[in-house]
Structure 1
């Protein structure tokens, strides 16, 4: 796939875009894990989520946040990375002005950034948060969570223990008007090593269900 360079809030950002074949197709943005621990847009889970949306006719963007790969800038502890995500979504939507709706998906640190972005963008129809780091970052901004979505993690995750994710899910499930689908992959660690097919199947089934029920929020 050809390299994509576009202007972000503090310099150029490197990404990969798969444009949808049909005008007015939905859009999706995929967010990578922590930059200081090797997270890039080429992470296997990011790559898998990217093509899951591609296969369903979305225009999809994955990108390297500031300081990663050929993206300019320096790691900014989440503040700048959220700005990069918001700018990237603006760029994607400008390329697809007739898009019907948008999804956000992120893995680990990217799930934290994605759910913050979700709070700022009422046009987002749904989200996927893979192994959200509920023990490492503050998720109290989800008050209330504006959209239904999937939270999925492994029961052998040592980076983000299961009780931390469960506490986040329990909090979100008390909110009216949205539905949180919470799934646990048995035997999966934080990186879903040996469990990527199971992760892909579950995410794909959830997305297919949501696409078949467009009125769900």
Structure 2
């Protein structure tokens, strides 16, 4: 079951879908599927200038407003006490992480295939959130040495390399899904005093 929604971000509108997301990118689809299987409410959206979303690409600056808008919509739907999570893939990992690290409602985040060859992820050293870093061992945009160097000083981060996977996880969606599912199950388990509380990931 799926419900289409619009997210108003300033003068533009973002295309989004609640539950059962069916975006064309297999990585995003798989991540959303395993989160739903773990009992998380999910919201996926296209950045400005993508698909039916208005606006134009802004090199990751205005796109942060898109993430804030999506989190606001999801947070409103789930209630003010519900912790939120952020999962981003490639460019989305960079933009999503920048927002998530400073967002009061976000309790955890997943960065899939962070393109370290193009974007600076050094801000993660100051990130107080629980973090899962996922990459393929054959990803030309996320070299193993750079990936390991990024993860090493992050005490709250788990880093996992999926052997044989490239940036698009061709033929490796199953192990990718397993890794995200493990995170999602841990995220969905309520802390003491939070029994019965829903959680969401966008």
CA deviation profile, 1:11-64 (whole Å, cap 9, x unmatched): 111011029xxxxxxxxxx9xxxxxxxxx9431111111122222222211001
TM-score by length of 1: 0.80
Aligned match of 2:13: 12
Does residue 151 (structure 1) correspond to residue 98 (structure 2)? The answer is no
Structure 1 residue 184 and structure 2 residue 185: aligned? no
In the TM superposition, 1:1-217 aligns within 5 A as 1-18=2-19, 41-173=23-155, 179-212=156-189, 214=191
| 2-structure distance, mates of 1:47, 1:105 | 12
8 A Cα contact 1:8 1:88, kept in partner:
no
Using the alignment, how far apart are the partners of 2:190 and 2:43 within structure 1?
A: 24
CA gap 1:62/1:158 in 2 versus in 1, 3 angstroms: same
Aligned to 1:22: none
The runs of 5 or more residues in structure 2 that have no matched partner are: 193-202
How high is the TM-score relative to the length of structure 2? Answer: 0.86
Q: Which runs of 5+ in 1 are unaligned?
A: 20-29, 31-39, 174-178
Please give the alpha-carbon distance, in whole angstroms, between the structure 1 residues aligned to 2:19 and 2:52: 19
Map Cα deviations across residues 50-83 of structure 1 (whole Å, 9 max, x no partner): 1222222222110011011110000000001111
Q: SS where residue 176 of structure 2 aligns?
A: helix
Q: Residues 102 and 127 of structure 2 are in contact (CA less than 8 Å); yes or no, is this contact kept in structure 1?
A: no
Tell me how far apart the structure 2 counterparts of residues 186 and 53 of structure 1 sit (CA, whole Å): 22
Q: Which has the higher contact order (CA 8 A, sep 6+)?
A: 2
- Looking at structure 1, the residues matched to 48 and 6 of structure 2 have their Cα atoms a distance apart, in angstroms, of 12
Q: 1:214 to 1:162 in 2, by over 3 A?
A: farther
Q: How many residues align?
A: 191
- Over 3 Å counting, the alpha-carbon distance change for 1:7 and 1:119 in structure 2 is same
Deviation >3 Å, runs of 4+: 209-215
